[in-house]
Amino acid sequence: MPNMDANDFQERFYTSSDGLKLYARDYRPNEAVAAGRLPVICLPGLTRNSRDFHPLALLLSRDATAPRRVIALDSRGRGNSAWDENKANYNLAIEAGDVLAACAEFGIERAIFIGTSRGGLILHLIAATRPDLLEAVILNDIGPVIEAEGLALIRDYLNSGRRPADWNEAADILQENHGASFTALEEQDWREMALALYRDVGGRPVADFDPAIAEVLKSIDFGRPLPDLWEQFASLSRLPLMLIRGKNSPLLSEETANEMARRHSALILHAADGQGHAPLLHLGNIPAAIRAFITACC
């Protein structure tokens, strides 16, 4: 991950409809050179935050030929956004409302959206309720069907209770948990992932999300089929749509990805070699694929 400089982005705070203080990073190229190009809005995964998108946001906002404004959000309870005292508010409908509040605050009437994992589920809801906001969508390793086995793996490692003593151990823990599915990552990539996932508290890395978010996963009955979002996915059929799938993903099956392509004949499917759930968007040929998709459609 590139070093983060104060000049890379503006730190922005806004208020949700229920009064919670939320955070976003606003990467703004010179307005003259970006004029006429729609912005890109980035929505992170379940326990991740805006730092996930920093390398990609730099690439898109500093593109030599077609720079764009990029806004990366911290969902409530993650990163620099406030934790919610009402833990029941950590749900897709409320978080979709937070995205709408961000768009209103930042003057976004229409944009290209990138949703990683849970962020992509939120985009399914927005497609069904506020389609006017969406010009194009990139789903990062998520679709209408979530594999129960993959979600159970996420539940288990988030609730494992192991806490790193230092930054080296933080990277080691991530590699131990995910190394088998992220064979493309090198040592530096694991360190950068740790910096994106953890917050420095007195020199010690601490997971940067409200623990209540992980607790919710314990209540899921994996003996019953998980609900799907095929009805909401149909609302994406009118849009340019790209799906990035980690080839080793336990959460999004190849079968579901193929069914998404069958139902959306113009879907662009990109396989992320050597990555699991969810692919790091700044590695390999993914940035070039994203840039090509955005350039072609918008």
Domain 10-148+228-297 in CATH: superfamily? Alpha/Beta hydrolase fold, catalytic domain (3.40.50.1820)
Q: Tens digit of pLDDT for each residue in 31-52?
A: 756 778 999 999 999 999 999 9
Percent of the residues in the chain that have a pLDDT greater than 90, as a whole number: 87
The residues near 239 (Cβ < 8 Å, ≥ 6 apart) are 127, 134, 135, 136, 137
Going from N- to C-terminal start, the domains of the chain cover: 10-148+228-297
pLDDT of the residue at 171: 97
pLDDT, the chain, mean: 94
- On the question of pLDDT at 3 being above 90, the answer is no
Weakest-pLDDT range from 44-53, 202-211, 212-221: 212-221
Q: What is the DSSP string of 116-147?
A: ETHHHHHHHHHHHH-GGGEEEEEEES--S---
pTM confidence score: 0.96
Over residues 291-298, the mean pLDDT reads 94
